[in-house]
Amino acid sequence: MISVFAIFVLVAGTGIQHAVAATQDTSIPPKAILVTGASSGLGRMIVEALAAKGHRVYAGARKQADLDSLNAIDNIEAVRLDVTIQSEIDAAVELITKQGSLHAIVNNAGVGMMGPLIELEEKDLDFVLGVNVYGPFRITKAFAPLLIESKGRVVNIGSISGWQSRAFYGAYSMSKHAVEAYTDALAIELDKFDVKVSVIDPGGFRSNIGENIHKRLIEEGMHFEDSLYKKELQGNWALSGGDLSTFKDPEDVVAKVEHALFADNPERRYMVVNEADLAEQTMRAIIEHMVELNHDQPSSYDRDGLIKLLDEELAKKNESPGN
């Protein structure tokens, strides 16, 4: 099988730079928070927003230039942190433990991958799962004692791609679907210790992910002559430049991260999309799965039964604290 389609892009880094006004929110006492994948894009926006409000932010990054840039920002301490390297995770735990408590971690670091599933090599799948799934697992496990002590928070950055898959992005969707299951199980387990767990599912915001894929193709001299999907790939948006410059910046995503970090009763899930069509597509994908599961099985529900289930869940949500 060919591996020319294994194209990796740091999704956590959208390449967007923002200036954040230093306006401390005095209603929330300063908290210590670790954010992985903080070098650019959404991660950078999260750490800048938190630091501007007076929180002590540990910003995880891999490259020295990014570490230096982050360290130049008030209230931010850059931490060399590759979520695939256990020794760096252990060093970060030691550093933060010595300096005091930790309120929360934001598992933001992630990578993207594009290519036909039957033409990817196993090492390519290992790479995306190693960052997007094992990364949050490693980080949360390592910092769990501090979070239990502070009765803190875990915020995972998922994606609407965890609910809806499309051709050539299956590996990425697999990883983000795993983040959803991880969030649910972790939330149940950590409830015993009053640690709250949330997942943010963004979609359709400005990013340079497509441009990075396109650039990688050119730099590596990749081609599609041997692919079984040559015709279909020729029209792929990422391969034609992947321009997302007209999309909205992800400030709304940052706002939901802050709610998950500080609200008395944070949501388990936050879907944040920049247009109604993306929300509808995601909800339809979930409904489609429900219909498929329900169809032609011994305990199938009719329409009235499904509506009753939906009404019951809506009622529980409306009655939950904070609604």
pLDDT digit string (tens) for 138-160?
A: 999 999 999 999 999 999 999 99
pLDDT digit string (tens) for 212-250?
A: 455 544 554 556 678 899 888 887 755 555 555 666 788
Lowest mean pLDDT among 2-6, 270-274, 282-286: 2-6
Contact 160, 282 (CB under 8 A): yes
pLDDT digit string (tens) for 164-200?
A: 999 988 999 999 999 999 999 999 999 999 999 999 9
List the catalytic residue out of 58, 172, 182, 270.
172
Question: Is the alpha carbon torsion for 267, 273, 275, 278 positive or negative?
Answer: negative
pLDDT band at 320 (very low <50, low <70, confident <90, very high): confident
Q: Helix axis angle, 170-190 relative to 134-150, nearest 10°?
A: 20
- Residue 260 reports pLDDT greater than 60: yes
- 130 burial level (CB within 10 Å; 0-12, 13-18, 19+): middle
Q: Which amino acid is at 220?
A: E
pLDDT at 270: 98
Question: Is the alpha carbon torsion for 116, 122, 127, 131 positive or negative?
Answer: positive
Other Cβ atoms less than 10 A from the Cβ of 241: the count is 12
Active-site residue flag, 270: no
**CA neighbor of 172 nearest in space, from 107, 238, 112:** 112
Q: Going from the N-terminus, what domains does the chain have, and what CATH number goes with each?
A: 7-274 (3.40.50.720), 277-323 (no CATH)
N-term to C-term CA, the chain:
51
What tokens appear for 243 in the block? 């321009």
Q: How far apart are CA 257 and CA 187, in angstroms?
A: 16
Mean pLDDT of 297-315: 97
Q: Which amino acid is at 216?
A: R
pLDDT at 1: 37
pLDDT at 241: 56
